[in-house]
Amino acid sequence: MRLRITLLAFVLCTLSLYAQESQKKIKINDSWIINGETKDIPYDLAASAPVKTNYLTGVSYKDYGDGNPVFARALELGALDKDGYVGALFEGLNGQSKIYVNGTYLGGASQPNVPYVFELTPYLGFDGKDTLKVCFDPEYSQMGIVQDVYLLKKDQVHFASNGVRALQIVSDGKVELRINSKVENTSHSAQTVEVRHTLVDNMGRQAASVISNPTETGARRTYEQELVLPVPSPQMWYPSNPVLYTLYSTVLVNNISVDEVTCSVGFRSLDYLPGTGFMLNGALFDVHPLDFDQSYFLGGDAVSPAFTEYRLAELKKQGCNMISTGGKPASEVVLNACDKLGIFVVNQVPVMGVNPEQINAAAAMVAKAANHPSVIYWGVGNEGPEGMSRTFAEVLRSLDYSRKVAILSDGTWRPGDDSSIIETGAFATSVGPRELATWASQPAVYMEPEWSMSGKEGQSVTLTVYSNCDRVNLGVNGAGYSSKDIVDGKAQWTVTYKPGHVDLVGYNKTKAVVRKTYNTAGYGYQIKATPDKLRLKGDGQDIIVIEIQMLDSKGNPTTDSIQNIRAYVDSDALTAYGIASNRNNVQFAPIEIMGAPGQDQVTFPVKDGKSRVVLRSVKGAQGIAHVRIGGDSLHGATFNINYE
Q: Is 279 helix (H, G, I), strand (E, B) or coil?
A: strand
105 and 34, same structural domain? yes
Helices (H) and strands (E) in the chain, counts: 6, 51
Give the per-residue pLDDT at 584: 42
Q: Please tell me whether residues 248 and 262 are part of one structural domain.
A: yes
Whether 460 is covered by a domain: the verdict is: yes
The reply to whether 425 falls in a domain is no
pLDDT at 7: 40
Sequence-distant (≥ 6) Cβ neighbours of residue 97 within 8 angstroms: 108, 109, 110, 134, 135, 136, 137, 143
Q: Looking at residues 373-391, what average pLDDT do you find?
A: 77
Same domain, 546 and 506: no
- Burial class from Cβ neighbours inside 10 Å (0-12, 13-18, 19+) for residue 492 reads exposed
By C-alpha distance, which of 501, 508, 504 is closest to 477? 501
**pLDDT digit string, tens, across residues 215-235:** 999 999 999 999 999 999 999
The reply to whether 383 falls in a domain is yes
pLDDT reading at 16 higher than 50:
no
Contacts of 377 (CB under 8 A, 6+ apart): 345, 346, 347, 403, 404, 405, 406, 422
What is the rounded CA–CA span in Å between residue 596 and residue 269? Answer: 47
328 with 364, same domain: the answer is yes
Q: Are residues 558 and 635 in the same domain?
A: yes
Q: Model's pTM, two decimal places?
A: 0.87
589 pLDDT above the threshold of 60: no
pLDDT of residue 459: 96
Q: How many separate domains does the chain show?
A: 5
242 and 292, same domain (yes or no): no
Q: Which of 47-61, 175-189, 414-428, 548-562 has the lowest mean pLDDT?
A: 414-428
- Is pLDDT above 70 for 33? yes
Average pLDDT in the chain: 83
Its domain, for residue 191, covers 3-14+157-269
